[in-house]
Structure 1
Amino acid sequence: MAAPPSAASATRTVIEGCAVATVDAHDTEYADGHVVVHGNLIESVGPGPAPAHLPDVARRIDGTGHLATPGLVNTHHHFYQWLTRGLAQNSNLFDWLVALYPTWARIDEPMVYAAARGSLAMMVRGGVTTAMDHHYVFPRGAGDLLGAEIRAARELGVRFSPTRGSMDRGQSAGGLPPDFAVETTEAALAATEEAIDAHHDPSFGSMLRIGVAPCSPFSVSTELLRESAALARRRGVRLHTHGSETVEEEDFCKELFGMGPTDYFESTGWLGDDVWMAHCVHMTDADVDAFARTGTGVAHCPSSNARLGAGTARVPAMLRAGIPVGLGVDGTASNESGELHTELRNALLVHRLAGGATALDARQALRLGTYGGAQVLGRAEETGSLEAGKLADLVLWRLDGLGHSTIADPVAALVLGPPAPVALSLIDGRAVVEDGRLVTADEETVAREARTQAHRLARIAADAG
């Protein structure tokens, strides 16, 4: 149950005159509606203007020509890859990983901090209010890499769900990453529990929740998968990994374990309503049934899958089966745009290419990027839709400009049109974007610092190579 706003934050922001897409259970929409925010919570959503005489109104916004939606929820990312964009441009996943692991194994705390700031700034400016990151590369002596990401998210004011990833299967054990880029099983488990102890906040409205996230079947031992699942459930946190991304991964699992990825994950305790997996491109009917039966979620990354030529996930079939599905940017070394709102359009187009003109519609795409993502992260009771009592994580998109003004349906304008400017984004009731610009960081400084660290990483990797 939502706690009432604290006295220090008990002022109201009123947005009215805008179209509203609530993405609630009934997909309620208002052509001319309002949203009232009280402190860090949504107080009311409805048609027409807000009541004229509300007390403690700090700001009243004319939303004419705009669309209000829930904030976007990113369910899969690798922030550190912001520093290695544009490399291995024509490689499939395995070749791309082999090409980039030696560089990624040289990252350190200043690099990860700059990369997290760049990744988060790009997403937040484009309407993301809840972000996650899957960080699994921890070179020895590199500093506090997870802490660097958490610091960056706190400074930008983002609701954050980082996962403490890990790899313990190096090349000498049949894995893809070089041996110097992996941890021991024991060290990975200990560091994961330490991260939960230091950072996890399970309370309603938490700005920071930690997950447990061994990287993938081809970089993690069976022991680490099993022990990580046991650790996460003992500590009451969620589990995340990559699954069924490529044909090569399926072949790898069959050769090494004698079964496909989904069966392997189930044998290690890695299916359940506290689990979500990235990609899930190559899924059989039996795999889809297993995910539906267990409530396992999916982070769908259409642009990254296309960039690496991995294939098209069976998202329409997953949705019909009742599987929770959200959208993910994935790392910007395989999705250089680094934005989630473009994934709404890309998801719709990719699935229509695969399944015809009715495979996915604009409102389903918006749901994937909002409520679906909240489901996947286990936060659907708090965010993902515009409803009274939920957290005030919302976006006001400008749709009266050149790119959108002739599209009468505002949801279609947002999903099918060009990227819409963010007139206002609130996270926990606080403005983080105004008129298309970040208000919690200087964009030029973020870009300059990321460029400096990208050049530094490239020099270090070249010298080591």
Structure 2
Amino acid sequence: MTYAPSLLITHAYLYLDRGLEIADGWIHLDKGRVAGFGPMTMAPPQTAKRLSAGGRIVTPGLVNAHHHMYQNLTRSYAPVVNGTLFEWLQGLYPLWATLDEESVYLSSYVAMIELLLGGCTTSMDHHYVHPRPRLIDAQVRAARDIGFRFHATRGSMTRSVKDGGLPPDSVVQSEDHILEDCERLIGLYHDPEPGAMIRVALAPCSLFSVSETIMKESAAMAERLDVRLHTHLAEDHDEDRYCQEVYGCTPTEYFERSGWASERSWVAHYIYPSTDEVDRLAQKGVCAAQCPCSNMMIGGGAADAMDLRRRGMRVGLGCDGSASTDHASLWLEARMALLLGRFRNGPHSMTARDALDMATRGGAACLGREDEIGHLRLGACADLVIWGLPPFSRAGALSDPIEALLRCAPATAWTTIVNGRVLVSEGQPCQSGLERILSEHERAARRMQKLDHG
């Protein structure tokens, strides 16, 4: 691996980790890792390249624990914009059935740039719609072209409309094909080494969209090949009814009996478990991703993140699908998690540091990488954000910069660094050819939405 030049960032308010902050400090990045930090009163090392943060806040890069990148091709899609979860899915599946390698590459590229601008340096993506082969290969290519730290999760569906499911036949696959492709992707792209830029996890879409065989065989493959597991769980009351009718149990009970209740697993949403179920999964090491904006937009409830945390479950944040949230800003998700938590449990229940901890350490725990991302302690991956707050937005916010970061809106990334490389500088992406990417993305979106009459 080739490394970016050694970089010293000075004159920053450093939020290095929960409980580790330096009001006026420096941080040294070298060989893709955090090599040192300290207050400005302590002489920093001499390096070839220096960057002044100008008093801005520096935090670890945010970690997105749940997303569906392809959905930015159908943002704010008018026919279903006010539907329930199931109505929304039924309206959009026929459009998503037209996905191909080009549209997945473009949507992934756009999503990753948008995430970088919102302070995210590592993201997973839950891609479960496979009308054509090698769509996840296209995502990996986009991540490598940008230099983004990416966890591809090979999603799957086996139950179409004819089987009592929601998606059309064209986006479901046979059990054998799914399992073969999962093993192919892990063999090609999963990097188990420290500092890995690409990893792969297994991610059947949901309990009501795949067979029991896929659930159990995915768990067995994850154990055999040492990768992680992800799915949606306890997201909707219809899921409860489905599991009772088909399996005679709750979604969490079915999750457990399928062999998923282990520290390999993290789940999206987890809105409607019982307290006993939360306690059981937390004890097994299962993590959860709260998706505040998406859940509020659809009106289907939201996980009580602070209660999950009190019960011992690690909780991260996710942007979720760009067609439900209609954005990919993890900063906004952290702010909304803060507001939602306080609205639900009172003003003493949650602080900005709690929300930031979910967006960093919590997301890293979901991805099984809390040892090296989600914080900026010595030896951590050199993934960080220098935040920009407009002068009129931050005027008067003098006593607590971290509370101000989520309260004084809007904040965006002034500088985003991944693996020691500057990917956003002075609020602008550093990649070339972005106008072409956006133009091609618009053409792909127009074709998908049947708006291209030319």
TM-score by length of 1: 0.94
Match of 1:34 among 26, 31, 47: 26
Cα distance between partner residues in 2 of 1:152 and 1:242: 25
Q: Distance in 2 between matches of 1:247 and 1:309?
A: 12
* TM superposition shift of 1:195: 0.7
For residues 390 and 294 of structure 2, the distance between their equivalents in structure 1, rounded to whole angstroms, comes to 30
Aligned-partner residue type, residue 153 of structure 1: A
Q: Decide whether the 8 Å contact of 2:390 with 2:410 is kept in 1.
A: no
- 1:314, CA displacement in angstroms? 1.6
Structure 2 CA distance for aligned equivalents of residues 65 and 15 of structure 1: 11
Map of 1:290 onto structure 2: 280
In 1, the alpha carbon distance for the partners of 2:227 and 2:239 equals 27
Q: Secondary structure at the match of 1:34?
A: strand
**Offset at residue 359 of structure 1 (A):** 2.3
Within 1, Cα distance between the matches of 2:203 and 2:237?
22
Residue in structure 1 matched with residue 92 of structure 2 by the alignment: 100
Deviations 1:439-459 (CA, angstroms, capped at 9, x unpaired) = 024443332221111012223
Out of 301, 323, 328, the position equivalent to 1:311 is 301
| Offset at residue 105 of structure 1 (A) | 1.1
**Among 372, 376, 379, the residue aligned to 1:389:** 379
Match of 1:375 among 348, 365, 370: 365
1:431 maps to 2:422: yes
Aligned partners of 1:164 and 1:212 also within 8 Å: yes
Aligned-partner residue type, residue 232 of structure 1 = A
1:12 positional shift: 2.4
Which secondary structure does the structure 2 equivalent of 1:338 belong to?
coil
CA RMSD after TM alignment: 1.7
CA drift at 1:33: 1.4
Pick from 101, 110, 120 the counterpart of residue 102 of structure 2: 110
Can you give the 5+ residue segments of structure 2 that lack an aligned partner in the other structure?
none
Q: For the Cα contact (< 8 Å) 1:80–1:116, is it kept in 2?
A: yes
Alignment map for 1:39-438 (pairs within 5 Å): 39-49=31-41, 51-52=43-44, 54-55=45-46, 57-87=47-77, 88-139=80-131, 142-399=132-389, 401-408=391-398, 409-438=400-429
Of 7, 12, 22, the match for 1:13? 7
- State the AA in 2 paired with 1:410: P
Aligned length: 450
Separation of aligned partners in 2, 1:379 and 1:36: 21
Given that 2:157 and 2:172 are in contact with CA atoms closer than 8 Å, whether structure 1 keeps it comes out as yes
Q: 1:251-290 deviations in whole A, cap 9, x for unaligned? A: 2211221111111100101111110001101121012111
CA distance in 1, matches of 2:161, 2:389: 51
Deviation at 1:404, TM superposition (A): 1.6
Work out whether residues 4 and 421 of structure 2, in 8 Å CA contact, stay in contact via their aligned partners in 1.
no
Task: State the one-letter code of the partner of 2:100.
Answer: D
Output the amino acid matched with 2:13: A
Contact 2:383 2:417 in 1 (8 A): yes
The alpha carbon displacement at 1:210 in A equals 0.2
Compute the displacement of 1:438 (Å).
Answer: 0.6
Q: Which amino acid aligns with 1:23?
A: D
Question: Does 1:457 pair with 2:451?
Answer: no
Name the CA distance, whole Å, in 1 between partners of 2:91 and 2:155: 20
Alignment deviations for residues 311-357 of structure 1 (CA, whole Å, 9 cap, x no partner): 02121111111211110001101010221110011001112111111
Identical positions, percent: 40
- Paired amino acid for 1:355: N
TM-superposed CA distance for 1:143, in Å, is 4.2
Distance in 1 (CA, whole Å) between partners of 2:41 and 2:133 is 52
- CA deviations on 1:121-178 (whole Å, 9 max, x unpaired) are 1111111100110111111xx3421011111111111100010111011122222212
C-alpha distance after superposition, 1:34-58 (max 9, x if no partner):
1111121101122225625x34x12
Q: Aligned-pair distance for 1:65?
A: 2.6
Q: 1:421 to 1:312 in 2, by over 3 A?
A: closer
CA distance in 1, matches of 2:128, 2:90: 15
Q: Note if contact 1:65-1:398 (Cα within 8 Å) is conserved in structure 2.
A: no
**TM-score, normalisation: structure 2:** 0.96
